[in-house]
Amino acid sequence: MDGFLIQILLRGVLVGGMYALLSVGLTLIFGVLEIPHFAYGDVMMLAMYTCYWLQVFTGASLFLSIIIVFPLYLALGFILQKFVVNKIMDKPELSKMLFMVGFSLFLQGLALFVWTADTRFVKSELQNIYVDIGGGKISLTYIVNFVMAMLFFAGFYLWLQKTFMGKAIRASAQNKDLALVTGINIHKIFLVSFGIATVMSAVGAVLFAPIYYVGPFVGLELTLKSFMIVVLGGLGSIEGALLGGLIIGVVEALSSYLLSSEVKDLSALIIFLLVLLFKPKGLLGKEVRE
């Protein structure tokens, strides 16, 4: 039976890595733009549908989809920030949240209208190739997509650390007023942050799609999960997103092994509530935010 424990834990880690990429964008948006982006998951949903359409109409491989999704969603992120998000930057926090709720509903309706309520599936060519690990088999999809997710994550992290823009963004997240004083163009910061966050989540969603499903209401599930992960890891902390993602991934895998799949979601939620109530700054939280 221990053999299975290893397989289950491994699966949890692999999924957790993908979760990290999915959610890291949200931590940036919270940290820099201070927007409760309720529609975060819905944009991810659009990315998954984009990938689905690419597959249906051109039979493109998953990896080719990423090459197309990347510039598309980077641009979409910029557009959304400039024309949608910008309008509410000065409004009170709850108005921002409710506005994004409205946007989320709008996107759900759009998906429902264009693609109907049918459940769709995105396939990876590696799906049916298995690797023997720990007494069982894991589909190569998990492993390869995990590696890719980690590559993107690492790239994102390095970008934040090494580039000028990245450093400016980190400075704004730490202390906006101070950053403004140093002459940083705050509007450009917002634009770039939102764009990068969007594209990271879009790529994460495409990598995650083959082991999940695609439907118009997937967005809500993904938003909630991302929020759980970044709160767990600490709002504003990139490393926190990785840690949070891995923890949630493993907790889910273990619960589905020990108990049942329904309890999987319950465990994650309970951990989330406990963190919210007793350690709202999260595990690696830097910000002193309400």
Query: Which candidate, 221, 220, 227, places its Cα nearest to that of 275?
Result: 227
The number of CA neighbours under 13 Å toward the Cβ of 215 is: 10
Among 212, 239, 283, 286, binds another protein (CB under 8 A): 212
Residue 276 sits in the site that holds another protein (CB under 8 A):
yes
**Which residue number, 30 or 156, has a Cβ lying nearer to another protein?**
30
Regarding 224 and contact with another protein (CB under 8 A), the answer is yes
Q: Is 280 in the site for another protein (CB under 8 A)?
A: yes
Burial class (CB in 10 A: 0-12, 13-18, 19+), 193: buried
CB-nearer residue toward another protein: 166 or 233: 233
Among 70, 211, 283, 287, binds another protein (CB under 8 A): 211
Minimum separation from the CB atom of position 168 to another protein (A): 25
- Give the residue, chosen from 20, 111, 196, 229, that forms a contact with another protein under the rule CB under 8 A: 111
Is residue 102 at the binding interface for another protein, with CB under 8 A as the rule? yes
Q: Which residues contact 159 (CB under 8 A, 6 or more apart)?
A: 165, 166, 196
Report the C-alpha gap between 215 and 8 in whole angstroms.
Answer: 26
Find the binder of another protein among 58, 155, 270, 279 (CB under 8 A): 270
136 forms beta bridges with 133
Of 56, 58, 130, 175, the one binding another protein by CB under 8 A:
130
CA distance 182 to 222: 36
Output the CA–CA distances (angstroms, integers) from residue 1 to 34, 95, 134, 136, 251, in the order listed.
46, 51, 10, 11, 18
**Beta bridge partner(s), residue 132:** 137
Using the contact rule CB under 8 A, the part of the chain among 63-71, 73-81, 173-181, 223-231 near another protein is 223-231
Q: Which residues pair with 214 in a beta bridge?
A: 120
- Residue 101 interacts with another protein (CB under 8 A)? yes
CA-to-CA distance for 228 and 245, rounded, in angstroms? 9
260 binds another protein (CB under 8 A): yes
Contact 248, 20 (CB under 8 A): no
Tell me how far apart the alpha carbons of residues 135 and 84 are, in angstroms, rounded to a whole number.
51
Backbone φ, ψ for residue 90 (5° rounding)? -95, 0
The single residue among 41, 168, 264, 284 that binds another protein, judged by CB under 8 A, is: 264
Residue 87 as a binder of another protein (CB under 8 A): the answer is: yes
**68, 72, 89, 138: which one binds another protein (CB under 8 A):** 138
Shortest reach from residue 225's CB to another protein, in Å: 11
**Structure tokens, 24:** 């890291």
The contact mask relative to another protein for 34-53 (x = CB under 8 A, - = no) is --x-----------------
Residue with tokens 């465990």: 267
CA 15 to chain centre: 12
Q: Considering the rule CB under 8 A, would residue 107 count as an interface residue with another protein?
A: yes
By CB under 8 A, name the binding residues for another protein. 4, 7-8, 36, 87-88, 91, 93-95, 97-99, 101-114, 116-119, 130, 135-139, 211-213, 215-216, 220, 224, 227-228, 231, 253, 256-266, 269-270, 272-273, 276-277, 280, 290
